[in-house]
Amino acid sequence: MTTKRATLLILAAIVIVSPFFFPSNYYYRVGSLIFVNALAVTGIVILTGYAGQVSLGHAGFAGIGGYACALAPVHLGLHPGLAALFGAALSGGVAWLVGRPILRLRGYYLAVASLGLGILVAMVLANEAWLTRGPDGIEVPDLGLNDALEAIGIDIRNTQFWYFFSGLVMVVGAWIALNLHDSPTGRALRALHGSEIAARVVGIDVARLKLRAFVISAVYASLAGSLLALQNKFITPDVAGFMHSIEMVTMAVLGGAGSVLGAFLGAAILTTLPQVLTVFQEYEQILLGLVMMLVMIFMREGLLPSLARRVRGREK
Amino acid sequence: MSALLEIRNLGISFGGLRAVHDVSFAANPGEIVSVIGPNGAGKTTLFNMISGVYRPGAGAVVLDGRDVTGMDPFLLARLGLSRTFQNLQIFQNMTVLENAVAGFHLRESGPLLADLLNLPSTRRRARAAEAGARALLERVGLANAAEREAGALSYGALKRLEIARALALEPRVLLLDEPAAGCNAVETEEIDHLIAEVAASGVAILLVEHDMKMVMRISNHIVVLDHGEKIAEGKPEAVSRDPKVIAAYLGPDAAALHEGEVAHA
């Protein structure tokens, strides 16, 4: 079986089977948060794991996606679902505008520029209160899909609906990322990660491909932000905050930046920990830094690839 | 008639140091042109300028009548110029096969959306590239290593993988920077044959190589650099007898000695 099929089967199985072990409704909520985070981290896998580029401002795109769902229905009269797509297009457009000049330069300029972009988005969301209602957040209209399901006789609780819907979007996101991995574009991304000069020599337009990876990953983050806003029916500027960007990168690095299944694992661990350990909530910043350092020192490829290597090594 | 590749008065300086100065020569289809010279003579720097890695400070590179001076390598690849590297540039994070497939980038790339959704057109392009890559690996003797991680291969095997990747572009001009370095006698001979074969198919080959036996055997034309300047040029026999060349390699005394021997004979 190919890695791609195995990964998709495992993810789908997790989404479907886990609820049988849920002691209460609360767990649907945690599961759904994991899926949303895994979706955003899958975008980081494409940008960092495939193409080797680092962004420290991806929460900015999650903010754009989240607030699009709050604002576009009110001001543009868009259906909340369409608002999410509008947010994704907007995020992609902003990523393109910012990435185009930056990605022509070699080095870590993207990390710095995206950091600035993320902070900028967070500040606009917090300060332009006439539009966003400021730091306290804003309510988000209902997606209406749950009601539609009810109308055709499928009656599930709201938390359950969002659990399965987020799970579905995450699996589709994983499918697309895995498609990309083995496609000519994905191969070119991984090639420029391996050796930029050799990539240019075989005809790869390095700047253009990095830009594509950046835009795609921005769309992932944006959709994750939209999903979060829609299921909470509320959104605050924290979604675009610097800590959220760092969280995404840490999840990817912890699970294994090159692996889609690793993205899920990293998201699952770092989403669950604060729920079970209140300590984690209080010291989140310190612990995220600690996790990042330990991974870099002891398993630079991340949890999943390192474990896989160890298992394979034992088989030999 | 102008040559396929023309190097005109090419030069570059790094912080006041004249690395290459006023070098000119030409290469035609099917020809093997070797650039030789002592260490630090500027051979790799010259290659880097021709292949667009460095922007030349002076002079011009003309490919098929078109001025391509300082053009980015990815655009040069589209015009049919490809190269290998002295210090290997392998995609270590990919398999041997994927490294070779990457050489087919220009022919296998298509719409992004098709790649994201794994549409039949993408699968078709990828399959064609893979078949081509396997054939090339066969040709350089790496067919059995196709599924291995590239990083696990020996130095000599990686040199051949680089050649396979460069050939995947079906270049009209191929720059080989020390393709036989670190290879044993058998591997060197294989590379030797491969280069001759590629040249025979009508590709202009520029070669930097320290293995003098190989250079003398397969080159049609030799350009000798010393301290960044061209000191001699011509057929292998002529160049190997040139006192300036002997002086550059062995020092002026040796050249005088050689002169003496010739006079005595």
| ipTM value for the complex | 0.89
- What's residue B265's pLDDT? 46
Q: Which domain holds residue A36?
A: 3-7+25-315
Among residues A48, A32, A306, the alpha carbon closest in space to that of A177 is found at: A48
CB environment B13-36: b (16+ within 10 A), e (fewer) = eeeeeebbbebebbbbeebbbbbb
CB contact under 8 A, B166 and A201: yes
Select from A8, A187, A189, A216 the residue whose CB has the most chain B CBs within 10 Å, as the one to mutate to test that interface.
Answer: A187
Residue with tokens 């209406």: A144
Q: Give the tokens for residue A1.
A: 């079986």
Q: Whole-angstrom Cα distance, residue A19 to residue A27?
A: 8
Is pLDDT above 70 for A184? yes
Q: Give the tokens for residue A121.
A: 């988005």
* Edge-to-edge strand list for the sheet holding B173-177: B81-83, B173-177, B204-208, B32-36, B221-226, B229-234
CB contact under 8 A, B89 and A195: yes
Which residues, 6 or more positions from B139, have their beta carbon under 8 angstroms from its beta carbon?
B164, B167, B194
B121 touches chain A (CB under 8 A): no
Is pLDDT above 50 for A207? yes
Q: Whole-angstrom Cα distance, residue A106 to residue A114?
A: 15
Among residues B94, B99, B121, B95, the alpha carbon closest in space to that of B110 is found at: B121
Q: How many domains does chain A have?
A: 1
Quote the minimal CA–CA distance from B52 to chain A in Å: 9
Provide the pLDDT confidence category of residue A311 given band limits of 50, 70 and 90.
confident
Is pLDDT above 50 for B115? yes
C-alpha dihedral, B100 to B105 to B106 to B108, nearest 10°: 100
Average pLDDT for B97-123: 94
B1-80+171-236 in CATH: which number? Answer: 3.40.50.300
CB contact under 8 A, A203 and B105: yes
Q: Give the tokens for residue B46.
A: 């010259």
Is pLDDT above 90 for A34? yes
- What's residue B31's pLDDT? 95
Question: Residue B122 in contact with residue A183, Cβ under 8 Å?
Answer: yes
- What residues of chain B lie within 8 A of the CB of A187, using their CB? 94, 98, 101-102, 105
Provide the pLDDT confidence category of residue B256 given band limits of 50, 70 and 90.
low
A20 within domain boundaries: no
Average pLDDT for A135-143: 89
Mean pLDDT of chain A: 91
A18 within domain boundaries: no
Average pLDDT for B9-16: 92
Pairing of strands B32-36, B221-226: parallel
Quote the minimal CA–CA distance from B177 to chain A in Å: 13
Q: Whole-angstrom Cα distance, residue A230 to residue A310?
A: 41
Measured between CA atoms, the residue of chain A closest to residue B108 is: A184
Q: Whole-angstrom Cα distance, residue A291 to residue B259?
A: 71
- What residues of chain B lie within 8 A of the CB of A200, using their CB? 52, 72-74, 77
Select from A183, A195, A301, A316 the residue whose CB has the most chain B CBs within 10 Å, as the one to mutate to test that interface.
Answer: A183
CB contact under 8 A, A186 and B115: yes
Partner residue facing B94 (CB), from A179, A194, A212: A194
Q: Whole-angstrom Cα distance, residue B165 to residue B99?
A: 7
Quote the minimal CA–CA distance from B66 to chain A in Å: 18
A-B contacts at Cβ under 8 angstroms: 106
A186 touches chain B (CB under 8 A): yes
Is pLDDT above 90 for A53? yes
- What's residue A316's pLDDT? 46
A297 within domain boundaries: yes
Q: Whole-angstrom Cα distance, residue A306 to residue A83?
A: 40
Average pLDDT for A189-204: 95
Average pLDDT for B142-155: 91
Percent of chain B with pLDDT over 70: 94
- What residues of chain A lie within 8 A of the CB of B113, using their CB? none
Measured between CA atoms, the residue of chain A closest to residue B77 is: A203
Roughly how many angstroms between the first and final C-alpha of chain B, as a whole number? 42
A3 touches chain B (CB under 8 A): no
Mean pLDDT check: name the lowest of A108-122, A268-282, B122-136, B150-164: A268-282
- Delimiting residues of CATH 3.40.50.300 domain(s) in chain B: 1-80+171-236
A182 touches chain B (CB under 8 A): yes
Mean pLDDT check: name the lowest of A9-13, B7-11, B38-42: B38-42
Tell me the residues of chain B between 167 and 206 that have a Cβ less than 8 Å away from chain A. 168-169
Q: Give the tokens for residue A97.
A: 């505008």
Partner residue facing A180 (CB), from B101, B116, B168: B116
Measured between CA atoms, the residue of chain B closest to residue A207 is: B74
Quote the Cα angle for A225-A231-A234, to 5°: 75
Backbone angles phi, psi at A90, to 5 degrees: -65, -45
A201 or B254, higher pLDDT: A201
Average pLDDT for A235-246: 94
Pairing of strands B58-63, B5-14: antiparallel
- Position B208, amino acid: V
- What residues of chain A lie within 8 A of the CB of B74, using their CB? 199-201, 203-206
Q: Whole-angstrom Cα distance, residue B51 to residue B40?
A: 19
Is pLDDT above 80 for A229? yes
Which residues, 6 or more positions from A57, have their beta carbon under 8 angstroms from its beta carbon?
A113, A114, A115, A116, A117, A118, A119, A121, A242, A245
Is pLDDT above 50 for B261? yes
Mean pLDDT of chain B: 90
Q: Whole-angstrom Cα distance, residue A294 to residue B246?
A: 58
DSSP letter for each residue of B125-146: HHHHHHHHHHHHHHHTT-GGGT
Average pLDDT for A147-157: 78
- What's residue A25's pLDDT? 87
Quote the minimal CA–CA distance from A105 to chain B in Å: 13
Partner residue facing A201 (CB), from B51, B108, B129: B51
Quote the minimal CA–CA distance from B193 to chain A in Å: 23
Residue with tokens 């396979």: B164
Quote the pTM value.
Answer: 0.91
Tell me the residues of chain B between 204 and 263 that have a Cβ less than 8 Å away from chain A. none
Q: Whole-angstrom Cα distance, residue A76 to residue A91?
A: 17
Measured between CA atoms, the residue of chain A closest to residue B120 is: A183
- What's residue A250's pLDDT? 92
Cα distances (Å, whole numbers) of residue A145 to A141, A221, A229? 12, 22, 15
Partner residue facing A184 (CB), from B78, B89, B115: B115
Average pLDDT for A196-210: 95
Cα distances (Å, whole numbers) of residue B145 to B68, B99, B158, B160, B187? 37, 12, 11, 12, 16
Provide the pLDDT confidence category of residue B258 given band limits of 50, 70 and 90.
low
Average pLDDT for A301-314: 80
A15 within domain boundaries: no
Is pLDDT above 80 for A281? no
B40 touches chain A (CB under 8 A): no
Residue with tokens 């930097």: B208
Quote the minimal CA–CA distance from B63 to chain A in Å: 16
Average pLDDT for B6-12: 94
- What's residue B33's pLDDT? 96
CB contact under 8 A, B108 and A201: no
Which residues, 6 or more positions from A309, have their beta carbon under 8 angstroms from its beta carbon?
A301
Q: Whole-angstrom Cα distance, residue A22 to residue A26?
A: 8
Is pLDDT above 50 for A14? yes
Average pLDDT for B210-215: 88
CB contact under 8 A, B109 and A184: yes
Provide the pLDDT confidence category of residue A264 given band limits of 50, 70 and 90.
very high
A5 touches chain B (CB under 8 A): no
Partner residue facing B74 (CB), from A179, A206, A258: A206
Give per-residue pLDDT as tens, B45-72: 999 999 999 999 999 999 999 999 989 9
Burial class (CB in 10 A: 0-12, 13-18, 19+), B60: middle
Burial class (CB in 10 A: 0-12, 13-18, 19+), A279: exposed
